[in-house]
Every structure is written in C-alpha cells, then in structure tokens.
Structure 1
C-alpha cells in the first residue's frame, strides 16, 4: 500500500530551519528535507545522529601510511638497495627522513580516494541511478520538507502554513 506524504515548499533557509524546529516540537517525523545547498545546523534540528565518517577517514589514512611504509621498505631496502649520493640503503630507519613526503602523500591519497568511494556507497550514489528528488525546484531555489501523513492531514497542513510554507502538496509515495 502506498503511503501519502505532504511536501511543504520554502523559499528561504532561515524559514526552513524555523519550520523544522516547529514541526519537531509538534512531535511529527520529518522523512527528508531536500535543499539546493547545505544548510548549517539542519541535521541537528532534524535530530539526526552525528556522522562517523571522520573515523573511517582516519582508518583509511592509517591504511595509506602502512602501505607507504611497507612499500618503501620493500622497494628501497629489501628488493633493490642502492647507494644514492653516498647514502647507503641498508636500513629503513636511517633513510626514513627521505621517505616522509612519500608517507604523507600516500596517507592523503588513500584517505581522500577511499572517502569518496565510501561516501558514494553510503549515499547509494552509483552510475545510472535514478534521481530521488521529488521536485526539480529543490536543485535551484526552493527547499522541500517531506512528512508522512498518518491520518493528520489537516493538522499538518495548518502547522506547515503557520511555519511559512509557500506551497503544500500531497502525493503518494
């Protein structure tokens, strides 16, 4: 069975923030808010849990650092040791200051690229995916708040009109 949702459109991010706070205070569950640009503080106003993506970024950086150390030790010390400029390559620790830029670059490389992949997978953004945006105006200049209706249509409509919605539509989800 398809459920009915109400779409409230706003044309200002400050009005949207006030509306989200008012709707949450009235104990309604906001399904999603579609915005043309990031709105600072919207996640807290909606009551969303803080992201743990920074933890994965740190772990990816650690993986990159480990790969850099193992790679440089194998290539420059074990597999093909060379006497470059009078510096013997017989131990990793003696040559580590020369390897610091490589360690830094691979740490950043792994963290950045794996974070992009993680973001796309977590957001379910893959090639040829259909857009989930319910209205194209939310990519230009409007904000849309989506709330599921549970037999309280008129109450929600009145509440959203009081919050400054410029347009209210009811659709099947």
Structure 2
C-alpha cells in the first residue's frame, strides 16, 4: 500500500515558520521538517512535546557524582590512606574540600559523555548509517516540510502550500509494509 506525502520546499526560515502555523491551523498533519540549521520556535509551532533529555542529564550527573564520591572514599580513605600536605585521612568529610574539584569534574564528565550516547541512541544515529534526508538542498539553504496527503485532496493541499510561500512542491509515494 502506498501513502501520499507532499514535500513542500521553502527558501526562508521565517516563511517556513508562518507556513507551519498556517498548515497546522488548517488541520493538515506535518510529519517531519528538515532544516539546514536549528530554527528557533519551530518545535513549538509543529507541536512537539518538550524533551526529557535535561532530566537524563541531571540523572547522569548524579551517577558521576556518586562514582566520584565512592571512588575517592575507597582509594583515599579505605584502601590506601596517605598523609598528603598534612591533611588527615581518617574520614571522607575531613578531606572533602580537596575532593570538590574531582567531584565536579566527574559529574560533568559522566553527564556529558552519557548525554552524547543517549542523544545518538534516541536519534537513531548509528555509525555508518545512511542519511535519511529526502532532499540534499536541505543541508545547504532550503527547508522541507513533509505533509501527509492521505485523506486530503492533493490539488487543494498543493494550492494551499503554494499560498503559504512554498517555492517547490513534490508528491511522494511512500510504500508501506503491512
């Protein structure tokens, strides 16, 4: 079974933003937007839910902080206590001022590295993955809005998209497996 999708190409990000708002106001479903750079406010205009990646960054930072505390407590207090610079090595809290830079660095290290891994997994960006970009011009200076044309009059939708400022419109047949 084939699904109809319309690719509307725009040459300006402000025109694209207005077109997205008008398209959503007419109750057409926008399935994807491809841009050469991030467009501020586009996620809200399309109606995307806020991301939860900030929560995972905080949790990854907590993991890094916990690893730092456990590592320093084991290495510097339990396993091999040393008198460095006259500081007592009997308890963790007595040495904690000297450990603050290490705790901070491991918190940032874990949060940063695990966030990169999470982002790539969430975005399904694997090594050697073939690009899914439908039009190479969107990596340079064009913007592409993908609109579902199923259950809509294609001619009417095409005219509507031209009125929103689209410079080019293509009807795409996507084969779907059941």
In structure 2, the residue matched to 1:90 is 90
| Residue 137 (structure 1) shift | 0.1
Q: CA RMSD in A?
A: 0.7
4+ runs deviating over 4 angstroms: none
1:29-82 residue CA offsets vs partner (Å, 9 max, x unmatched): 100000000000000000110111100000000000000000000000000001
Describe the SS at the equivalent of 2:88: coil
Any stretches of 5+ residues in structure 2 without a counterpart?
none
Describe the SS at the equivalent of 1:81: coil
In structure 2, the residue matched to 1:153 is 154
Q: How far apart, in 1, do the equivalents of 2:60 and 2:88 lie?
A: 32
User: What TM-score do the two structures reach when normalised by structure 2?
Assistant: 0.96
Q: How far apart, in 2, do the equivalents of 1:16 and 1:86 lie?
A: 65
Any stretches of 5+ residues in structure 1 without a counterpart?
none
| Residue 2 (structure 1) shift | 2.2
Q: How many residues align?
A: 173
